[in-house]
Every structure is written in structure tokens, then in C-alpha cells.
């Protein structure tokens, strides 16, 4: 077909009269390079003066004034022409709507590599030169939001009036350059207001997945006259999926154009009530991403021109513009997700850095871990619970840590609780059922609504001051893929449940936590191994087993009878036998009680064992072999003379006698508190609870396991196992802390007549009370004996006080202070009244044959009271305390009498309370 000759001016004239044909052709045939050339050639059009140079100044200003004022509709104060000119000038002079780093725009002309290098150097110079910080700086230097200046709103109104195509392209370009979701959402609302001439606009974005989707907006009722970004402190507006017009549009993907909103049954006036604004006409349209999925809803409310409604042209304009908005929102969300992942990766790097910085203190590393978890997941509470035995199939937590968010507590230091297994918080914070489930299965638990989950104890939560909404609990693994504990976070600060991203992040986070905790535990085990080795070397260097000559000597010796030795008397003289005679007396006790015959104890082995035990008592002033023998003799008298032998089993009797002989093995003449203060190897090995008592028991086991010393070798496996448990209970019972924990229960059982010998727990308590009574047995002896023992006790305590003063630079307490010996008689009275009398009175109720012991206590108390009255009267009477036994660290009581110039008090040096006697 021949093409006639055409004049270009005719074609141009035709296109001017048919703009729709040109627009259609451009949409079909146009490309990016054409648009780019057009924008480049028409840059001057952004200036009103350049775009219309022939317009008179009055007409130009009038156009601005009319277009701007018509959009405000009285809701905002009309801007004057001077203000408009200043606003427009500022928009050209400075960069508006900066969304990330305000220093970036000022260096916009710098090459990108130079900017990254500058950011890296700035980051690296402000942080320690660790691997975590350098990697963090490298990441951050490559994650910057692109910055482009935004044109002023009044210029957009000008383009709308004079060049719709340029206006549309300007709006598209403006949102395409913004990757900050908050700023982008605000721009979209303002631009929609301008495009459809709406009074107010709202933007709701889809959050959640599946059946948990909601529509959330922090910007609603934004109008085109808004010149400042709305505050982010306001509460967000949430619309349930499928509820109201917004929910309907999001669910069905349809455009809704309503001339009278209150006549539509889908309309909800809740937001109107919230804002105080009356909605009349309404245009609501879905926003889709590039895949066609609905990611939000845009809503325009009330035409600015009074009485007008939203037209089909408004719908067409939005249908063209919102796809670009969907792409921009998707890009901003992807960028926000990448920034979030970057922040989380950086937090994990910081965790690794923390693990390498602190591996010596479990509490410190767990505190750091929980602080990181709270910062990362933005939760109200965080807790870590460690298993007692990772090999045991039974789940039992031995230690728990918890941290309260500063936003939920005014005192953050008090929110950190250590060792809370007995704390009231454990009922609701730890939620043992959930933690135990995670520890036993190794699977994470994510509860979005705690009260709807059957595993959650709602009743315990209702009685607490802290109410749990959501729970995320995951297991903590060590390097051998063993569960060593669980980590738990409660309640996100924004009120939402923990999502899948939070769970994945927490699981990755806990991997590093498990490594750190495991390393710290291994470091603690190494320290304990070193302490154990140190103690063993110290013991071996000091002690040795007895010689064969000594064994043969006692093996061939004639053993006196009980009546000849007097060891069955409750008022036995503690100083009546010499060192060798005490060995023969101990042999007689074993034979008299039938232990040798019943348990087939080899006589030579028994002699060797007793001699080695004697050798393993140090030559301290009081807690030596004589004290151990006197405690054993007191137990023997209670078993035989008082008749407890008829009630207790033979295994129990053997455990009590062996326990008395061994209860102070390798005593150093100092108490538990001194071990803790000095940080001795014993304290590192056994901890600060019953330190010496555990050492006494372990030392007894070491002797029994030595060749030729096992007096239990002929027991059956069941008898041996039971006996070792009873032996441990007997020795640990000499720690007065255990006595104070059990005595009230024991006293009530006996006083109410509810004590039953057939109940195992009752028998255990009675044996412990008997051990305590024998350990404190010096308080029941005649005054002469008590006085002699007290001289030794006081001298030993004063030596410890001297060491505290010289080595630790501490002022010792009264019982250990030579300079305060005059205070001791009063303390002894408190001790007898508060500790000794209640114990022996209860035992007398259980066995009246022990009445002589109680009578002697009362007689000794009268002597103490007389000495105390003389001291109060200022008289310098001689005073001397009676002896006591047992282990103590507390200085609340002791015995003192003065003989000449020597002050004496009695208290055992292991347990927490003092154990003076009189």
C-alpha cells in the first residue's frame, strides 16, 4: 500500500486534537530510553518559572494559590503565597525526607566505593578491632538506602493542573526512590490525596500469614496539606481480615466506591469514633505486588470539593497508580527484611564476640546472653534453665536465670534472679511443664496464646503480678548434641505473638548460647579437677597409712571390757583415755555392738582402718582424733545405755558409729566460712555449702577404698549401697545448716505424738538429730570436763581469728576475736536456750533414758548464768566455757569461762551456726 506524502505539521496537529491516540501509541511502543530522554530534555519543567515563562507573575501565583488552597478545605490553615514560595525554595535548596543517614546526601556526589570506604573506616575506628566488629562494619558499609531529593507538594499540584503525564511520572518516580516503608507509606497517602482530590487517605498493609492475617496501619486519615511526617508514637490501627470495608476489599480483591458510607452494611464506624472525623463518600482499592497477591489496601475518604463523589476516572487513576505502589511497597518490605536480617546477623556476631570475651563465669555469660536475646526478640522476659544431669532421662533443672526487660521493671538489677528453683517466680515464669517438654523432646514450643494452650498453667499465671501472653521455648544443645538446658522468652513488647522468623532466629541464637554455656561449664569442671588434684596432693603429702607394726600391736592386744573403760556412761570423761587406749576402746565398741560378727569384719582390717583414721586426723587443737572418739563414745552410750540399739537396724548402727569416727577427718582447724573467704581448694571443689562435711565424707571413702582398709568388703551389694548412703547422711548431718532445716519438723512430730519409727523420713531425721546431739555432746558433760575442752576450742578459734586479721585483713567476730572474749558468756546462754535445750528436750520425749544429759545441760546453764551476771556487774571473775563439738561458721553462740587469764569457748568450726557448749 502506497503511503501518501505527509506533512509533519499536519501529523502534529492531528495528534494535538487526538491526545488519546498518542497516549495509546506511547504506551504500546514507548520504551525506557524514550522516557529518559524526555525527562532529561524537560528538567526545566520542574520549575514553574521555566515551565511557563510567558505567564504573568499574577497568574502564576494565583494558580498556585488556588490549587493549594482548594486541597486544604479548611482542615488546615491556608498557606500564604510567601510561605508557599519559601517552602518551594527550601525544597530546591535542601534534600527532603531523608530516611537513613543524613550525611549520605551531603556526599551524594562521591563515588559509591568512596562512601562505603568512608563508612567502613568510621565504623572500624569506633569499635574494638575484633572479627565481629570488622565483619559488622563490612556488612553495614554495603547496606545503605538510596537517597533522592523529593519534589515539593505544590509542584505536584502544578504538574497535575498543567501536565498530567509529567505529574504521573513524577509520583511514580518519587515512590520508586524510597525504600523506607514508613516514609513510603506517608508519600503514597499524600499522592493518592492529590490524585483523586480526597480529603483524607489511609493505607493498610497486610501482616501475618494464613488464617492469622490482619490489616495494620500506622498512618490513617492523612491529608494532602500535611507538611510534616506524622509521629510514629501513635498506636497503630488494626483491622481484622474480612471485617469492614477494608477487610472486605482485602479478602475479595474488589474495588469499592461508596457514595454514602453509613448506608453500606460493610462499613464500620469504629475509626470515625476514634478520630472524630465523619466519613461520607469512600473509595477503597486493593494493592497488589508483582505476583498479584494483595499486600495492602488504599482508602480515600471524602472529596475535597463539597458534595462531590469519587468518579470512575478516580478509580481508573488509582488502578494505574497502585500497581506501582505495590511494587514500591514490596521493595521496601524486602529491604526492611534484609535490614532486619542484617541486624540479627550483627547481633549473632556480637554474641560470638561475647562468648570469646567471657568463658569463666556462668552467671555473667548467661546475663549477656539474655540481654542479647531481649534486644534481638524485643520481649518482656527471658529465662535460661540448666539441667542437673544431662545423661539422666529424668528432667530436673538445677539452676535458673531470668531477666526482666527495663520497659517492664524500674529496677533492672533486681530483675536478674539466680538459682530460683525454690523461688515463687518458678511457678509462673519457668512454667516447668513447657520447659520439661522441650528438654525431654528436644523440640521447640511456640505458643501464640498461652491461655488457649493446655500445656500452660493458667491458674498459676492468674495469681502472679506478671501475665503471660505468648511463649517461645527452645532447647540448648552442647557440642556433643546433648540437651543441657532450655531458653525461654515471654511476651513480645509489641503485643504480637512470636512468629516463625522469631523462632528461627532464637534457635540460631541458642546454638551459640549452648556453645558458650558448655565452654563455661567445662572451664568450671577443669577448675574443680585442678582443685581436686590439689586437695589430693595435699592429703597425700600430709597423711600416710599406719605401719604393720602398729596393726600387729593392736591385733594381739587384750581389749578391756566396757565396764572397765566406762564408755557406756553418758557422763564419760573425755580425757580419761590416752591415744592408744582410745583405739582399744573403739575396737570394744565394734565388738560390743556385734558389728564384727554380723558383718564379718576382718579384725586385722578393722585395726588397720582405725589406726589409719586416727592418723588422718590433723594435730589441730580441738577437731582431732580425741574429739572424733568422744563423739563416737557418746553415740555408743546412747545406743546401749539409752536403748536406741533395740530400735535401729544393724546397718543403721554401723553407719552411725563409722560416721562418728570419720565425721571430722582431715579437719584443718578452720570453719566453712574461712574456706569461702580464702577461696581455698576445698571451697572450689565442694562449693560453699557444707564444704568441710563433704570433704570429711570423701576422705572417709578414700580410706575405705585403700588396700586393706575396706571393713565393708564382706557386705552384700545391697547392704553396701545402703550403708554408704546412710554413712553420707550421718556425716553431712553434722552440718548445723541441715539441722536447722529439719529440726522444726522433727520437734513437731515428737511433740504431737506423730513420730513413727516405721516411716523412713522420720527415721532419717532421728538419726540426724542423734548425730547432732553426739557432736554437741560436750554440753552434756560435767563442768570440769567442759572447762578443759573449752580451753582447746577457744585456742583453736582464736588462731583462726588471728589468721583472718593477718591474712584477710578482716576483723574477726566475737567468738574468734581475742579482744572480745568477755562477750562470750552471754552468747553461750543464747546458744543453750535456743539450740541445745530444745534438741535434748525433744530427744528425752522420744527416749526418757536420755534425761541425765538434759539435767547436766541445765546445771551447766546455771554456771553460765552466774558468770554472765558477774560480767554484767563488772566483776572480773574467772570464767571458762564448756566444750562443744560439731562444725560451724556462724558466730552467734559459744561457751566461755575464765580460768585465770585463759578465755575458753566451745564451737565446732564447720557448720554455719556456732556450736558452743557448757
Q: Tell me which residues are annotated as active site.
A: 623
Whole-number Cα distances in Å, 517 to 431, 626, 683, 740: 22, 47, 22, 35
With beta carbons less than 8 A apart as the criterion, state whether 196 and 318 touch: yes
Residues 700 and 731 sit within 8 Å (Cβ to Cβ): yes
Cross-strand partners of 446: 472
For residues 611 and 583, the answer to whether their CB atoms sit within 8 Å is yes
β-strand 483-492 against 471-477: which pairing, if any?
antiparallel
Per-residue b or e along 84-96, where b marks 16 or more CB atoms closer than 10 Å to that residue's CB: beebbeebeeeee
Pull the grid cell for residue 176.
Answer: 520508586
| Alpha-carbon distance values, 498 to 69, 174, 436, 473 (Å) | 47, 35, 20, 10
What is the biggest distance separating any 2 CA atoms in the chain, rounded to whole angstroms?
A: 150
Angle formed by the axes of helices 691-705 and 500-542, nearest 10°: 60
d(C-alpha 560, C-alpha 548), whole Å:
22
Q: Given strand 256-258, what is the order of strands in its sheet?
A: 237-240, 214-217, 198-207, 294-303, 282-288, 256-258
Residue 461 C-alpha cell reads as 499465671
Q: How far apart are CA 315 and CA 196, in angstroms?
A: 8
| Residue 821: Cβ within 10 Å count | 22
State which H helix or E strand residue 166 sits in.
helix 164-176
Spatial CA neighbour of 726 closest among 774, 682, 766: 766
Within a 10 A sphere around the Cβ of 334, how many other Cβ atoms?
11
Q: Is 802 buried (19+), middle (13-18) or exposed (0-12) by CB count in 10 A?
A: middle
HEC string of 301-318 equals EEECCCCCCCCHHHHHHH
Phi, psi of 386 (to 5 degrees): -110, 140
Around Cβ 874, how many Cβ atoms within 10 Å?
Answer: 6
What is the distance between the alpha carbons of residues 347 and 664, in angstroms, rounded to a whole number?
A: 52
Phi, psi of 487 (to 5 degrees): -120, 140
Q: Provide the 10 A C-beta neighbour count for residue 314.
A: 20
Q: What is the DSSP string of 121-162?
A: HHHHHHS-S-HHHHHHHHHHTT------PPPPHHHHHHHHHH
Give 433's Cβ-side CA count (13 Å radius).
Answer: 10
Query: Of 877, 859, 857, which Cα lies nearest the Cα of 867?
Result: 877
In 3-state terms, what secondary structure has residue 717?
helix
| 643 Cβ contact partners less than 8 Å away, ≥ 6 residues apart | 847, 849
User: Is the distance from CB of 915 to CB of 884 less than 8 angstroms?
Assistant: yes
Contacts made by residues 343-351, CB under 8 angstroms, sequence distance 24+: 344/376, 344/505, 345/139, 346/136, 346/139, 346/140, 347/372, 347/375, 347/376, 347/509, 348/508, 348/509, 348/512, 349/131, 349/132, 349/135, 349/136, 350/132, 350/136, 351/509, 351/512, 351/513, 351/516
Amino acid at each position: 500500500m502506497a503511503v501518501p506524502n505527509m506533512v509533519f505539521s499536519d501529523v502534529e496537529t492531528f495528534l494535538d486534537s487526538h491526545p488519546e491516540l498518542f497516549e495509546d501509541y506511547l504506551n504500546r511502543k514507548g520504551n525506557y530510553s524514550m522516557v529518559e530522554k524526555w525527562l532529561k530534555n524537560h528538567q526545566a519543567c520542574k520549575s514553574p518559572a521555566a515551565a511557563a515563562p510567558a505567564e504573568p507573575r499574577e497568574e502564576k501565583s494565583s494558580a498556585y494559590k488556588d490549587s493549594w488552597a482548594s486541597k486544604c478545605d479548611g482542615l488546615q490553615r491556608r498557606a500564604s503565597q510567601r510561605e508557599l514560595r519559601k517552602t518551594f525554595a527550601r525544597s530546591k535548596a535542601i534534600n527532603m525526607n531523608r530516611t537513613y543517614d543524613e550525611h549520605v546526601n551531603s556526599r551524594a556526589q562521591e563515588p559509591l566505593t568512596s562512601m562505603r570506604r568512608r563508612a567502613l573506616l568510621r565504623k572500624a575506628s569506633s569499635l574494638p578491632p575484633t572479627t565481629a566488629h570488622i565483619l559488622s562494619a563490612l556488612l553495614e558499609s554495603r547496606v545503605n538506602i538510596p537517597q533522592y531529593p523529593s519534589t515539593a507538594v505544590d509542584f505536584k499540584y502544578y504538574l497535575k493542573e498543567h501536565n498530567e503525564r509529567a505529574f504521573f511520572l513524577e509520583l511514580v518516580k518519587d515512590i520508586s526512590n524510597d525504600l523506607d516503608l514508613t516514609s513510603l507509606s506517608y508519600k503514597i497517602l499524600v499522592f493518592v490525596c492529590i490524585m483523586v482530590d480526597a480529603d483524607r487517605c489511609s493505607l493498610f498493609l497486610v501482616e501475618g500469614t494464613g488464617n492469622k492475617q490482619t490489616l495494620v496501619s500506622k498512618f490513617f486519615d492523612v491529608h494532602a496539606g500535611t507538611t510534616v511526617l506524622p509521629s510514629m508514637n501513635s498506636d497503630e490501627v488494626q483491622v481484622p481480615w474480612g471485617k469492614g470495608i477494608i477487610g472486605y476489599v482485602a479478602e475479595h480483591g474488589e474495588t469499592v466506591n461508596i457514595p454514602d458510607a453509613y448506608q453500606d452494611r460493610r462499613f464500620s464506624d469504629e475509626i470515625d469514633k476514634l478520630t472524630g472525623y465523619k466519613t461520607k463518600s469512600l473509595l477503597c482499592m486493593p494493592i497488589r505486588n508483582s505476583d498479584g497477591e494483595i499486600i495492602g489496601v488504599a482508602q480515600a475518604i471524602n472529596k475535597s470539593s463539597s458534595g462531590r463523589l469519587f468518579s470512575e476516572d478516580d478509580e481508573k487513576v488509582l488502578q494505574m497508580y497502585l500497581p506501582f505502589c505495590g511494587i514500591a511497597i514490596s521493595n521496601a518490605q524486602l529491604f526492611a527484611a534484609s535490614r532486619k536480617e542484617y541486624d540479627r546477623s550483627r547481633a549473632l556476631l556480637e554474641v560470638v564476640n561475647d562468648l570469646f570475651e567471657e568463658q569463666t563465669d556462668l552467671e555473667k555469660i548467661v546475663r549477656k546472653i539474655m540481654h542479647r536475646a531481649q534486644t534481638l526478640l524485643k520481649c518482656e522476659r527471658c529465662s535460661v534453665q540448666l539441667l542437673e544431669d544431662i545423661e539422666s532421662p529424668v528432667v530436673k533443672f538445677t539452676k535458673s536465670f531470668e531477666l526482666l526487660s527495663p520497659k517492664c521493671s524500674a529496677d533492672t538489677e533486681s530483675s536478674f534472679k539466680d538459682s530460683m528453683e525454690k523461688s515463687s517466680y518458678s511457678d509462673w515464669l519457668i512454667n516447668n511443664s513447657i520447659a520439661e517438654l522441650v528438654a525431654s523432646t528436644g523440640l521447640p514450643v511456640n505458643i501464640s496464646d498461652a491461655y488457649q494452650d493446655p500445656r500452660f498453667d493458667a491458674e498459676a499465671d492468674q495469681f502472679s503480678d506478671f501475665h503471660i501472653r505468648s511463649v517461645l521455648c527452645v532447647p540448648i544443645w552442647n557440642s556433643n548434641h546433648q540437651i543441657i538446658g532450655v531458653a525461654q522468652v515471654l511476651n513480645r513488647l509489641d503485643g504480637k505473638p512470636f512468629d516463625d522468623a522469631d523462632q528461627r532466629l532464637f534457635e540460631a541464637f541458642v546454638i551459640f548460647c549452648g556453645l558458650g554455656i558448655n565452654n563455661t561449664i567445662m572451664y568450671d569442671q577443669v577448675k574443680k579437677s585442678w582443685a581436686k588434684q590439689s586437695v589430693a596432693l595435699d592429703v597425700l603429702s600430709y597423711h600416710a597409712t599406719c605401719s604393720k607394726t602398729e596393726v600387729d600391736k593392736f591385733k594381739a592386744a587384750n581389749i578391756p571390757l566396757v565396764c572397765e573403760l566406762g564408755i557406756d556412761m553418758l557422763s564419760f570423761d573425755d580425757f580419761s583415755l590416752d591415744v592408744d587406749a582410745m583405739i582399744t576402746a573403739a575396737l570394744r565398741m565394734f565388738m560390743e555392738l556385734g558389728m564384727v560378727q554380723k558383718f564379718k569384719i576382718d579384725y586385722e582390717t578393722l585395726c588397720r582402718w582405725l589406726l589409719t583414721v586416727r592418723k588422718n586426723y590433723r594435730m589441730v587443737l580441738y577437731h582431732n582424733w580425741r574429739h572424733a572418739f568422744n563423739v563416737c563414745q557418746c553415740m555408743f552410750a546412747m545406743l546401749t545405755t539409752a536403748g536406741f540399739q533395740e530400735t535401729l537396724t544393724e546397718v543403721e548402727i554401723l553407719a552411725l558409729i563409722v560416721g562418728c569416727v570419720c565425721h571430722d577427718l582431715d579437719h584443718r582447724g578452720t570453719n566453712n566460712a574461712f574456706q569461702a573467704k580464702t577461696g581455698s581448694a576445698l571451697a572450689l571443689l565442694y562449693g560453699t555449702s557444707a564444704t568441710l562435711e563433704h570433704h570429711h565424707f570423701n576422705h572417709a571413702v578414700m580410706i575405705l577404698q585403700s588396700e586393706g582398709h575396706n571393713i565393708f568388703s564382706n557386705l552384700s551389694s545391697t547392704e553396701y549401697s545402703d550403708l554408704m548412703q546412710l554413712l553420707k547422711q550421718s556425716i553431712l548431718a553434722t552440718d548445723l545448716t541441715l539441722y536447722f532445716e529439719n529440726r522444726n519438723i522433727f520437734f513437731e512430730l515428737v511433740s504431737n505424738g506423730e513420730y513413727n519409727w516405721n516411716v523412713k523420713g522420720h527415721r532419717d531425721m532421728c538419726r540426724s538429730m542423734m548425730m547432732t546431739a553426739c557432736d554437741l555432746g560436750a554440753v552434756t558433760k560435767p563442768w570440769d570436763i567442759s572447762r578443759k575442752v573449752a580451753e582447746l576450742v577457744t585456742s583453736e578459734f582464736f588462731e583462726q581469728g588471728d589468721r583472718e586479721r593477718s591474712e584477710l585483713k578482716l576483723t574477726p567476730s566475737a567468738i574468734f576475736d581475742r579482744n572480745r572474749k568477755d562477750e562470750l558468756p552471754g552468747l553461750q546462754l543464747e546458744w543453750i536456750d535456743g539450740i541445745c535445750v530444745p534438741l535434748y528436750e525433744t530427744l528425752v520425749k522420744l527416749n526418757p533414758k536420755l534425761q541425765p544429759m538434759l539435767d547436766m545441760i541445765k546445771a551447766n546453764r546455771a554456771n553460765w548464768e552466774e558468770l554472765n551476771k558477774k560480767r554484767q556487774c563488772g566483776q572480773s571473775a574467772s570464767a571458762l566455757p564448756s566444750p562443744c563439738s560439731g562444725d560451724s561458721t556462724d558466730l552467734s553462740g559459744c561457751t566461755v569461762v575464765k580460768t585465770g587469764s585463759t578465755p575458753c569457748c566451745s564451737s565446732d568450726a564447720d557448720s554455719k551456726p556456732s556450736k558452743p557448749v557448757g
